[in-house]
Amino acid sequence: MRNYLSIDIGGTAIKYGLLDHSGNISEKDTVDTPQNLEEFKQTIKNIISRYKGRVYGIAFSVPGKVDSKQGIVYFGGALPFLNEFNFEKFVREEFGAIPVGVENDGKSAALAEMWLGNLRDVDNGAAIILGTGVGGGIIINGDLLPGSHFQAGELSFMIGNFNNVDYKEFVGTSLSAVKMIEKIALKEKLENKKDGRAAFALINKENAEAIEIFREYCKKIALLIINVQTVVDVTDFVIGGGISGQPVLIKTINEEYDKVLNKLTLLKDTLTRPRIKKAKFENSANLYGALYGLLQKIDNNS
């Protein structure tokens, strides 16, 4: 069976793994993400060199706007030095002709769910990924929606407050899971302001202040889902990211969604309620999704 190298490039870490055509991972590792282009290219070369001659193709998941047909990144998100970097050309020049796939990180997560996860056999669905920002991917008629400018599903850039148009009101800021955890940590004077486990321990114990912050956060997620639903009208939303492993998250988002519908009966009568559920994949989602994007590209070119 053919093996593929899948590489998930994040702002602080690069995860990579060896996967087969069915999505089975046989090897996996992580390195720190360099913060300049030359060191980044050397790191990618080192990773690929470990698997040279062992893989049939290489898949990348990256932040930013991605032209997946050409393998080019525009505006590299947390890694601005990747702007206009051509992954396909880079790999070809360094390692010769080999199939290369490149996809946005949020869209990679959606592809993972469409291939092997909780959007499998769903014709119209969406993935919302909660982390430092808010990533997304939209599936329409069984295909990933890229958009005319490669930016469909870029939920972080939606404006959440029409009365105060400011970066702070971007969905990626106001619905940041990291910032929600930091807010609880500051309120409760936790030693580690990024300790998600400690924050959710307070939430699960129904600490009054932690619950208030958390419920407000889940209400905003519910409103985001409603807004997206009015545009794309899908049947299923999956919620991913590290905090999606907390059962209270999906439960509370559903509760807050229903509260909004019960308050606004016109909305309830007009807008068909989608299913809101946990994404199957958490930390490895982008490895699977990037590979699936590559496999689709290979099939389309054959």
Radius of gyration, CA atoms only, the chain: 20
pLDDT band at 169 (very low <50, low <70, confident <90, very high): confident
Angle at 264 (CA atoms; ends 177, 279), nearest 5 degrees: 35
Confirm whether 24 is domain-assigned. yes
SS3 state at 50? helix
The phi and psi torsions of 84 (rounded to 5 degrees) equal 70, 20
Looking at the structure, do residues 269 and 138 belong to the same domain, yes or no?
yes
How do residues 235-249 score in pLDDT, each as one tens digit? 999 999 999 999 999
Looking at the structure, do residues 4 and 21 belong to the same domain, yes or no?
yes
What is the rounded CA–CA span in Å between residue 100 and residue 125? Answer: 26
The pLDDT mean for the chain works out to 95
Confirm whether 153 is domain-assigned. yes
Looking at the structure, do residues 63 and 151 belong to the same domain, yes or no?
no
Confirm whether 111 is domain-assigned. no
Looking at the structure, do residues 152 and 69 belong to the same domain, yes or no?
no
Confirm whether 192 is domain-assigned. yes
The counts of H helices and E strands in the chain are 10, 12
The CATH number covering residue 192 comes to: 3.30.420.40
pLDDT band at 269 (very low <50, low <70, confident <90, very high): very high
Contact criterion met (CB below 8 Å) for 3 and 287:
no
Looking at the structure, do residues 152 and 54 belong to the same domain, yes or no?
no
Looking at the structure, do residues 59 and 140 belong to the same domain, yes or no?
no
Confirm whether 114 is domain-assigned. no
Confirm whether 222 is domain-assigned. yes
How do residues 227-238 score in pLDDT, each as one tens digit? 999 999 999 999
User: Which of 108-112, 169-173, 211-215 shows the lowest mean pLDDT across its residues?
Assistant: 169-173
Task: Please give the pLDDT value at position 229.
Answer: 97
Confirm whether 113 is domain-assigned. no
What is the rounded CA–CA span in Å between residue 48 and residue 25? Answer: 16
Contact criterion met (CB below 8 Å) for 284 and 240:
no
Looking at the structure, do residues 193 and 153 belong to the same domain, yes or no?
yes
Spatial CA neighbour of 255 closest among 296, 211, 288, 289: 211
What is the rounded CA–CA span in Å between residue 170 and residue 120? Answer: 30
Task: Please give the pLDDT value at position 191.
Answer: 87
Across 166-195, average pLDDT: 92
- Quick check: pTM over 0.75? yes
pLDDT over 90 at 168, yes or no: no
Looking at the structure, do residues 143 and 47 belong to the same domain, yes or no?
no
Number of domains in the chain: 2
Looking at the structure, do residues 188 and 55 belong to the same domain, yes or no?
no
Owning domain of residue 136 = 120-276
How do residues 149-158 score in pLDDT, each as one tens digit? 999 999 999 9
Confirm whether 115 is domain-assigned. no
Looking at the structure, do residues 172 and 200 belong to the same domain, yes or no?
yes
Looking at the structure, do residues 7 and 91 belong to the same domain, yes or no?
yes
Looking at the structure, do residues 251 and 289 belong to the same domain, yes or no?
no
